[in-house]
Amino acid sequence: MTPRILIIAGSDSGGGAGIQADIKTVTMLGGHAMTAITAITAQNTLGVQAVLAVPTDTVIAQINSVVTDIGVDAVKIGMIGSAATAQAVADVLESLDVPIVFDPVMVATSGDTLADAETIAAFERLMGSASVTTPNLPELEALGGKDAVLAHGTHLMAKGGHAEGHWIVDELYSPSGRLRHWEGKRFDTNDTHGTGCTLASAIATGLGDGMTVEDAVERAIRFVRIAILSAPGLGGGHGPLGHALGVNPFDEIEG
């Protein structure tokens, strides 16, 4: 059965991150992507020019609409929009018995802020519902560090891309301790817009398809790295990934 993945996140008009990156990732990994859009952004490879939060009631209506008809096998949470939406989403998710991947988006790749202090404070409840939380290193620090995140009972995927050095180290922890780590050579590129969104959606797709946390994370890291290498080189700033991995799927179909 095709895994049904509900994405709760913001829209990126440039197509590199957010809902757009999530849909492409879920589709490429064999899932069916459904969305609850939390915010509309005017955004490109150079930065975020405008943000409009979607009313909380409309976000929840989107979630209820797909849950009651199509069903959900896993949830991915990205940009949440507002503290009120974070609290309302947490209320709804407490009734869903499916894996949840929470990417605590605070700042875009360009450096633009996407969550205020009140919204970040509301992340506590979302971490309590999450199967896996996937902060980068600055986000992990803002959340209080490794022990503070793990205290919520979630797995922690600590992304190492913001560290210095030629190698990136990603670490996976369960609530009881470290499980695994992955090391990869850092690519000399600016085409990294949407890496966090892509990774979290890839993990959610794996979990929704019945993979273990370790296997889902490992496949997600591999997908992101190949997508970086396949980047189309668009825009004048931090360019989008190549989610199609350099392949036109339609061209592969005969008949």
Predicted local distance difference test score (pLDDT) of residue 224: 97
Handedness of CA 57, 62, 67, 69 (dihedral sign): positive
What is the tens place of the pLDDT at every residue in 137-150? Answer: 989 988 999 999 99
CA 231 – CA 241 distance, rounded (Å): 4
pLDDT at 50: 94
pLDDT at residue 191, rounded to an integer: 95
CA proximity to 19, closest of 31, 2, 37, 1: 37
Among residues 192, 205, 206, 242, which one is catalytic?
192
Instruction: Give, rounded to a whole angstrom, the gap between the first and last alpha carbons of the chain.
Output: 25
In the chain, which stretches have pLDDT less than 70? Answer: 107-115, 255
Q: What is the structure's pLDDT at 110?
A: 62
Which pLDDT belongs to residue 89? Answer: 96
Q: What is the pTM of this model?
A: 0.95
* Rounded CA separation 238/141 (Å): 23
Active-site residue, 159 included? yes
Asked about 237 being catalytic, the answer comes back as: no
The one catalytic residue among 41, 45, 134, 195 = 195
Has 192 been annotated as catalytic?
Answer: yes
- Among 196, 206, 208, 239, the active-site one is 196
Of 31, 109, 197, 242, which residue is the catalytic one?
197
Annotated catalytic residue within 14, 15, 16, 194: 194
Distances (CA, A) of 138 to 35, 111, 142, 232: 27, 12, 6, 28
Strand partners, 75: 6, 100
Strand pairing partners for 132?
101, 155
pLDDT of residue 109: 63
Catalytic residue from among 14, 18, 159, 160: 159
Known catalytic membership, residue 196: yes
